[in-house]
Amino acid sequence: MKALRQIIETVRSHRDEPWALATLVETRGSTYRKPGARMLIDAKGGTIGVLSGGCLEEEIARRGRAIINGAPALVLNFDTRRLYGCDGNVRILIERVEPAGESGNFITALGSALDQRQVRRLRSWYENGLLGTDLLEPTELVVEHPGMLVHCVPLPLRLFLFGTGPEIGPIQEISRSLGWIVHSLANASELPDDVRADDQTAAVVMTHNFGRDLAALDRLLSLQLPYLGILGPRKRHRQMFGELLNHRSIDPGSLQNIYAPAGLDLGSEAPEEIALSIVSEISAVLANRKGGCLREREVAIHLEEHVA
């Protein structure tokens, strides 16, 4: 998701430039990326995003420059088993993207939708003479066809941080390096009234002040976030929940997604280690994973997903 956000921001900030967009439309076997991954190419051959472990990008960029200069869109097929020592096969659509100009293009339109927390779909045609990508309307019905990829673009992860303690800075740094949208708030009163939760919104309460933590928890419970982390020991959390129950009723379902103490068990002590632990737990929870060691996973690391 980080690469796609970078692509959007680049096209937004250079509205007079044409581009080539490479989209991974089909994979077989073991591959580095999955269908829907994208890479942007500029007129000089510079790129944003990756579609492989680094073995295909140079050729894709070379073809992308040619398309910017007038060559037709095309689909590249790479058998990585023969050429690169991997165990898969990929097909990559490369197409020209016209300058956004004042009216925009499908990339800037997608960016506007994501800014408003709207889930949208990109449709890429890559067979039978139909080569190209467009942005589908939210309610548009699509009949699947061979040679068509419909990719539901996930929302960027949004993180609300409550507090000003030493862990805040490292959490911000790690989160933003992942492309997350981070909002730092000193207390609950700073949270806008119109905030609505979605499946890519998380919050962490870490003010190191019982009263402010309690106020933030009281405000956040009604949002039913998929992840709500609270820093501090279990005894303190029990006191907070007890205090809340003394003043109002609490839906038991709203407590299921509370992680207290927040973070994975990494043996963390320093603020940077605590930040890594918390960010890792958020990533695991929102990806519906346990956060364990990959060598102990009994099924494939990347399960096959239906992108439409």
Write the pLDDT tens digit of every residue in 229-288: 999 888 888 888 888 888 777 777 778 899 999 999 999 999 999 999 999 999 999 999
Domain boundary among 100, 130, 153: 153
Domain boundary among 153, 176, 191: 153
Burial class (CB in 10 A: 0-12, 13-18, 19+), 289: exposed
Question: 129 φ, ψ to 5°?
Answer: 80, -5
| CB-based contacts of 22, cutoff 8 Å, min separation 6 | 38, 39, 40, 41, 51, 60, 64, 92, 93, 94
| Residue 298 within any structural domain of the chain | no
Q: Token pair 């096969």 is at which residue?
A: 89
Residues spanned by the domain of 281: 158-286
117 pLDDT more than 80: yes
Q: Return d(Cα 144, Cα 232) in angstroms, integer.
A: 50
pLDDT category of residue 180 using cuts at 50, 70 and 90: very high
Domain boundary among 115, 136, 153: 153
Least confident of 25-29, 73-77, 119-123: 25-29
Instruction: Answer for the pair 50, 4: CB distance below 8 angstroms, yes or no.
Output: no
Average of pLDDT values for 143-163?
93
pLDDT for res 89: 84
63 pLDDT more than 90: yes
**Are 17 and 149 members of one domain?**
yes
139, HSE (Cβ side, Cα atoms, 13 Å): 0
**Are 166 and 275 members of one domain?**
yes
Amino acid letter, residue 15:
R
Q: What is the pTM of this model?
A: 0.85
pLDDT category of residue 306 using cuts at 50, 70 and 90: very low
User: How far from 74 is each of 19, 48, 55, 153, 239, CA to CA, in Å?
Assistant: 14, 19, 19, 23, 62
68 pLDDT more than 80: yes
Number of domain units in the chain: 2
Q: Return d(Cα 257, Cα 35) in angstroms, integer.
A: 30
Q: Return d(Cα 41, Cα 65) in angstroms, integer.
A: 7
| Residue 302 within any structural domain of the chain | no
| Residue 7 within any structural domain of the chain | yes
pLDDT for res 82: 62
**Are 186 and 278 members of one domain?**
yes
| Residue 294 within any structural domain of the chain | no
**Are 244 and 204 members of one domain?**
yes
Average of pLDDT values for 82-109?
87
pLDDT for res 305: 47
74 pLDDT more than 80: yes
**Are 177 and 280 members of one domain?**
yes
- pLDDT (tens digit per residue) in 191-234: 998 899 999 999 999 988 888 999 999 899 889 999 999 998 88
**Are 105 and 197 members of one domain?**
no
pLDDT for res 303: 53
